Amino acid sequence: MSYPFQIKSQEQYEKAYRESVEQPDEFWASVAENFQWRKKWDKVLEWNFKEPNIKWFQGGKLNITENCIDRHLKTMGEKPAFIWEPNNPEDRVRVVTYNRLHKRVCQVAQMLKNNGVKKGDRVCIYMGMVPELVYAILGCARIGAIHSVIFGGFSAQSIADRLEDAQAEYIITCDGAYRGGKDIPLKSVIDDALIGNKKVKKVIVYTRTRTPVSMIKGRDLWWEDEMDHAETQVEKDGVVSFPAEEMDAEDPLFILYTSGSTGKPKGVVHTCAGYMIWTTYTFVNVFQYQPGLIHFCTADIGWVTGHSYIVYGPLTAGATSVMFEGIPTYPDAGRFWDIVDKHKVNIIYTAPTALRSLMGFGLEPLKGKDLSSLKILGTVGEPINEEAWHWYDENIGKKKCPIVDTWWQTETGACLISNLAGVTPAKPSWATLPMPGVQPVLVDENGKEATEKDEHGFLKGNLCIKAPWPGIIRTTYGDHERCRKNYFATYENLYFTGDGALKDDKGNYRIIGRVDDVLNVSGHRIGTAEVENAIDTHAGVVESAVVGYPHDIKGQGIYAYVIYNGKHGDDEMTRKDILQTVTRVIGPIAKPDKIQFVSGLPKTRSGKIMRNLGDTTTLLDPAVVDDIKNNRL
């Protein structure tokens, strides 16, 4: 496969950038030519940010799975799409070729059809990192069902809320998942989530851990049985086929829930053509992917990084990926480097939080690991501190591998700001330059272009984007007004990212972090309001306030101030009870690192919680701050 849109030099980057801004229609049409369409588009782009109404490649017809799979079969059918590395390094590696992927995806599509799933239906997927998760996702896309993957660390309550919001009628899950030394009982969590749910018709269960599960008659089905049956339907005389549904360019492809500044996660909607083109374009350019390279994105497919850079981007580009079931520290802190060595990985893409946690183990876990196959390193999800950047550069890349620091969001579909590996320069802890088609601007509180400089002379402001790129969020599921309010109403005619940033005189951007009430804990987005709501459900809690604080490994930790008037003998026990409550309501990822019992919360006169205790002049009761500071944990 060749990528005519791959940028190979700084000059080509500048030219592509200029064209993408000056003649976006021509620019994106020429990129879109490299994909497989049932019918080409009538109009490249129509948009306004007021409603918002954003349509790319209107009139175009396609199916993303034909781009991810079918078009590769003739020339690359026996090439691995995935090399699956299990949680336990002694277990069998599975190699999934494009032919095999095609067969399995056709089977899943048939299985879904057999069970009544139709185009536009919502299918919730709650699975571990097994190849069947990819088959499930692409099986949905093949028949035009909208998948909504939920990360395996979310609780039954979180799943129930998402099922309700998406009005999902089908679920695909596993009996359990292996994560390091733990077995997570996924099906049992789904059973709890379904108590009282009248909408879900079918739950399909793939066997991974063979944990005992309760299978409800008429509702629950085994994946293996259903797939066996489907196999006989899609395979005749050795030929496998399941016709892909013809989709409009702007038909929804998936919903992915993410946290915002309110208590309720939002269902971010991405559509077929724009998302496909954006993930592939950025994959090929940011990582400078070349046919034959082995790409290893360590993210979980439960998050957007896995959707875009394990599933859709690499597959559309006909790449070979490593898909990893486990965690970086199991069975020891050398696990990533074992995988790099074992599969001769060329590109590794991971989170700063993982690097910081591995740095804590020193260089011992690297001993005896051959990392010479590595060519490109990447980071995503949170700002990378210089120390971690240099550790990565020196010890993993041996100072020979460009590092790409990719800034983006669930809502942006794929990378917006990043250097292109080895093509445009890196700058430690800076995401650097915008991708072609991305027009960032820093604004002040009033939406005017920022003029304020920080102590180093860098321009400082809230990061917005002036015009749509193909992978931009289209709506929040079931509530378009929410999408408008959240992203397009803060500043007129701008998409507001929620991040603060700096800009240097060469046009490089450095992302400082969220300026809204969203925390970034180990690269996971968590709303302060969500955690407060969860804590407040605990009996005895009167009120709580949650703030982020700098955490050496997680980037940000969660600090909760809690007014508690329940009868309790022991603060430690109460803390544990509160943690248990948060785990029940959201999931273990949202557990506060510290809980401080206080007599009052630092609220302003208008009732807003003050999350930075520096300036106390607007506080209703400044004495509260002294109490808080004196008893800080």
Q: Which residues are near ligand PRX by CB under 6 A?
A: 258, 304-305, 380-383, 405-410, 431, 497-499, 511, 513-514, 520, 525
Euclidean distance between the first and the last CA atom of the chain, given in angstroms as a whole number:
56
Cα separation of 255 and 479, whole Å?
A: 13
**CA–CA distances in Å: residue 273 to residues 36, 96, 247:** 10, 25, 9
Q: Token pair of 247, please?
A: 């989709």
Residue carrying structure tokens 């309790």: 568
Residue 48's Cβ-count burial label (10 Å; 0-12, 13-18, 19+) is: exposed
Closest approach of ligand PRX to the CB of residue 622, in Å: 31
- Which residues make Cβ contacts (< 8 Å) with residue 496, sequence separation at least 6? 462, 463, 464, 487, 488, 490
Would you report the helix, strand and coil content of the chain in percent, each value rounded to 5?
Answer: 30, 25, 40
Closest approach of ligand PRX to the CB of residue 513, in Å: 6
Closest approach of ligand PRX to the CB of residue 305, in Å: 5
CB nearer to ligand PRX: pick between 80 and 381: 381
What is the β-pairing status of strands 509-514 and 495-503?
antiparallel
CB nearer to ligand PRX: pick between 251 and 382: 382
CB nearer to ligand PRX: pick between 541 and 546: 546
DSSP 19-43: HHHH-HHHHHHHHHTTS--SB--SE
Closest approach of ligand PRX to the CB of residue 518, in Å: 7
Crossing angle of helices 156-166 and 571-585, in 10° steps, is 30
CB nearer to ligand PRX: pick between 335 and 525: 525
Q: Which is it for the CA torsion 445, 448, 454, 458, positive or negative?
A: positive
CB nearer to ligand PRX: pick between 409 and 574: 409
Considering only CA atoms, which of 308, 255, 249 is closest in space to residue 147?
255
CB nearer to ligand PRX: pick between 77 and 513: 513
Assign 502 to helix, strand or coil: strand
Closest approach of ligand PRX to the CB of residue 11, in Å: 25
Closest approach of ligand PRX to the CB of residue 163, in Å: 21
Closest approach of ligand PRX to the CB of residue 270, in Å: 12
Closest approach of ligand PRX to the CB of residue 304, in Å: 5
CB nearer to ligand PRX: pick between 109 and 529: 529
CB nearer to ligand PRX: pick between 248 and 393: 393
Closest approach of ligand PRX to the CB of residue 446, in Å: 21
What are the helix and strand counts (H, E) for the chain?
Answer: 19, 32
Task: Tell me the H-state helices in 54-130.
Answer: 64-65, 71-76, 98-114
CB nearer to ligand PRX: pick between 383 and 468: 383
